[in-house]
Amino acid sequence: MNLSDLLAAYPDLGPWYTAFARFLFPLLAGAILWRAVRSLLRIPHTPESWGQLSLPNGTSIPLTHWENILGRSRSADVCLGYPSVSRQHAALCRGEDEQWTLYDLGSKGGVLLNGEKVEGSASIQLGDTIQLGGVPLIFLPQTVAEREELEEKRRAERPAAMWPSFLWLTVFQLLACTQLMIATGDSLVIPLAFLGLTGVMWLYAVALRLARCVGFEMETIAFFLSTLSLSVTASSAPGSLFKQLLAIILGLILFLTLGLFLRDLGRVQRNRWTMAALAIGLLAVTLVLGNRKYGAVNWISLGPLSLQPSELAKICYIFAGAATLERLFHRRNLTLFIVLTGLCIGFLGLMSDFGTASIFFVTFLVIAYLRSGDFATLSLICGGAVFGAGILLKFKPYILSRFASWGHAWENASTGGYQQTRTMSAAASGGLLGMGGGEGWLHRVPAADTDLVFGMLCEEWGLLIALLAVGSIVTLAFFTVRACRVGRSSFYTIAACAAGSLLVFQTSLNVFGSVDLLPLTGVTFPFVSNGGSAMMSAWGLLAFLKATDTREHASFAIRRQKLRSTPPD
């Protein structure tokens, strides 16, 4: 006897199930996220060590990054408190093929390698002697004892096992699927889609575990949010359920591919131009071939599939914008990056996709600040942007009308504040626990499962789960900031911060726009909104975060450290 027969025989069963299960969902969500969040926030951990510099006074300083600045400044990675050493004196970077390079950063005292003056840069071997402004240092590998101690320490910091969370998530998926089947009366598409998700999730976990990966916190969060996405889609657009599942799978593949690609810094460096071109190309193609949907020309239809290339352009943009320290020495100004940004934002402006344009702009500010640390220039750029926006509004005043009801949604409940008031009313109807999946009405409002998805979460799944979804994104950002401390290269640090900031800012625009704290700009909630391109882009961005996770064996996006130390003789 299947569920629909059972429900037909006992019509009271459905309401009773909902009344009971709605208490379970927030508990399960808490159980799923608790371990992941706690484990992610425990970072930073003991950093990796790539060698050490032995000082004249007998102490030695470990090199914890692939890119290290040597100097007198307190912000130097190897801080040398000698008056003859410049604030930023030299850099020691690990390049392709594990080759180390020594750079003179325009120091006053000069840099000597094995007694010879370094002009610009020079290749350096383990055991070489460096002199910075007359201060001698010896570049040494770690000793076996030190290495083993470090290994020991790092192994003790093993990430929390995630299988209980995966188990709870499976229960969540099972209960949610049943709830949605009861609410919608569907007994084929929904169970198949949920089964697909559960299967993919376990397949991923098993495959990576076999590859000796142990860190699954971010994936837990992403799979949880993707489950919410399927639930929302089942309620609002059951027809797109398989498409959404496919998007999750493609996203996962993108996540894996990009993560593996990011392992090799040299390869990454070589492809930055390609990525910049791809970002521009994707946006340009959209502009030429795009269709208008909800006021913005940001869709391309390929047969039955419609694609939003601007979502994928985000990944390319961050890829192109992040840079290694080595590159930052060569090219100190941001001109090319500003040109790239200008093109991207210009194209988005022409598409009238101001939400995505503002996301690009904030990402630009984050990357530019990380690269240059130059407040003055950035303030100037912000001022210019405000000025530019002013000019734009002067020539296209109709843009302003989109923001006219901002903050006054209830006074314009049937015009400009239509979507926001519906979102708030539906959200308030949900209470803490929600009306039950598939039992809402907000999905009948246009763009409910994308721009207003926060309202749908509140209405059907309750305020608690909606807040947990926002909290998940905040956790990812906190993790990024802390994991950066032990990142290998500035490329990973910058890319992860940019991706984290992008996810957070996009979530802010989505949530605040739907409840009238900000103008409604029509951007998606990462991982949750219904939409294939957005889902893939969110998973892709997660790869940048994964690439800063240098915990022992935690991340597939980190190449494992080859054991190299002085052989015992």
Residues forming contacts to another protein in the complex (CB under 8 A) are 19, 22, 65, 67-69, 75-77, 325, 362, 365-366, 369-371, 373, 413, 421-422, 424-436, 441, 462-463, 467, 470, 473-474, 477-478, 480-481, 484-485, 487, 490, 493-494, 497, 500-501, 504-505, 507-508, 511-512, 515, 517
The nearest distance, CB 92 to another protein, in angstroms, is: 11
The nearest distance, CB 494 to another protein, in angstroms, is: 7
From CA 80, how far away is CA 425, in angstroms rounded? 61
Please give the structure tokens belonging to residue 319.
């890829």
Closer CB to another protein, residue 344 or residue 463?
463
Residues 6+ positions from 212 with CB-CB distance below 8 Å: 553
Please give the structure tokens belonging to residue 310.
């601007």
Q: What type of residue is 118?
A: V
The nearest distance, CB 67 to another protein, in angstroms, is: 6
φ, ψ of residue 406 in degrees (nearest 5): -60, 130
Closer CB to another protein, residue 163 or residue 441?
441
From CA 462, how far away is CA 26, in angstroms rounded? 8
Closer CB to another protein, residue 274 or residue 379?
379
From CA 424, how far away is CA 91, in angstroms rounded? 54
Closer CB to another protein, residue 65 or residue 154?
65
The nearest distance, CB 410 to another protein, in angstroms, is: 9
Q: Annotate 475-490 with b (16+ C-beta within 10 A) or e (fewer).
A: bbbbbbbbbbebbbbb
The nearest distance, CB 537 to another protein, in angstroms, is: 18
Cα distance between the two ends of the chain: 74
Instruction: Name residue, tokens 């600040």.
Output: 369
The nearest distance, CB 406 to another protein, in angstroms, is: 14
The nearest distance, CB 471 to another protein, in angstroms, is: 8
The nearest distance, CB 252 to another protein, in angstroms, is: 24
From CA 510, how far away is CA 529, in angstroms rounded? 10
Beta-ladder partners of 113: 116, 130
The nearest distance, CB 439 to another protein, in angstroms, is: 9
Q: What would you report as the CA-atom Rg of the chain, rounded to the nearest whole angstrom?
A: 26
The nearest distance, CB 456 to another protein, in angstroms, is: 13
Closer CB to another protein, residue 245 or residue 463?
463
Closer CB to another protein, residue 91 or residue 254?
91
Please give the structure tokens belonging to residue 311.
């979502």
Whether the CB-CB separation of 561 and 48 falls below 8 Å is answered with yes
Residue 232's nearest CA partner among 424, 439, 65 is 439
> What three-state secondary structure class fits 124?
strand
Query: Alpha carbon of 38 to those of 30, 109, 387, 477, 518: distances in Å?
Result: 12, 47, 43, 14, 31
H/E stretch holding 123 reads strand 121-124
The nearest distance, CB 526 to another protein, in angstroms, is: 12
Query: Alpha carbon of 410 to those of 334, 416, 417, 418, 522: distances in Å?
Result: 44, 9, 6, 8, 19
Whether the CB-CB separation of 58 and 140 falls below 8 Å is answered with no
Closer CB to another protein, residue 170 or residue 356?
356
Identify each DSSP E strand in 362-456 by its residue range: none
Closer CB to another protein, residue 307 or residue 463?
463
Whether the CB-CB separation of 438 and 234 falls below 8 Å is answered with yes
Closer CB to another protein, residue 352 or residue 507?
507
Closer CB to another protein, residue 299 or residue 361?
361
Closer CB to another protein, residue 129 or residue 425?
425
Whether the CB-CB separation of 55 and 61 falls below 8 Å is answered with yes
> What three-state secondary structure class fits 74?
coil
Closer CB to another protein, residue 157 or residue 374?
374
The nearest distance, CB 413 to another protein, in angstroms, is: 7
From CA 351, how far away is CA 343, in angstroms rounded? 12
